[in-house]
A and B are shown apart, each in its own frame.
Chain A
Amino acid sequence: MAGVTAGDPSWSKHVADVLRRNGIRMFATVPDSIVTQVLEHLGADAACRVVTVTREEEGVGLLAGAFLGGQRGALLMQNSGLGNCVNTLGSLNVASQIPVVLVISHRGDLGEFNPAQVPMGQATPKILDALGIRSIVPRSIAELEAQGDGLIKLAYTRALPVAFLLPAELTGGKLG
Chain B
Amino acid sequence: MSAPLTRATATRLLAERLRHEVVVANLGQASFDLHALADRPLNCYTFGAMGQCSSIALGIALARPDVRVIALDGDGSLLMNLGSLCTIATTAPPNYALVVWDNEVHQTTGGQPTATAAGSDLAAIARGAGIEKAMTVRGEDELQRAYDRILSEPGPLVVNVKVAKGKSESGLDRDVIGGPRRFIRALAARGRQSGAS
Contact = CB atoms under 8 A, between A and B. Distances in A.
A51 B180 CA distance: 23
Interface in B21-38: 24
Interface residues of A, number: 32
A70 B51 contact: no
Interface of A: 26, 49, 51-55, 57-71, 73, 87-88, 90-92, 95-98
Interface in B54-70: 54-64, 67
Contacts of B151: none
A66 B60 CA distance: 5
- Size band of the B side of the interface? 35 or more
B49 A66 contact: no
A58 B81 CA distance: 7
Interface of B: 24, 44, 46-64, 67, 81, 83-84, 86-87, 90-91, 176-177, 179-180, 183-184, 187-188
B49 A68 contact: no
18 contacts: A51-B91, A54-B87, A61-B54, A61-B55, A61-B58, A64-B56, A65-B63, A66-B59, A68-B59, A68-B63, A68-B180, A69-B59, A69-B64, A69-B67, A70-B64, A91-B48, A91-B49, A92-B46
Nearest to A59: B55
B83 A58 contact: yes
Contacts of A26: 59, 62-63
Nearest to B177: A97
A70 B52 contact: no
Given A58-B52, A66-B59, A52 B64 contact: no
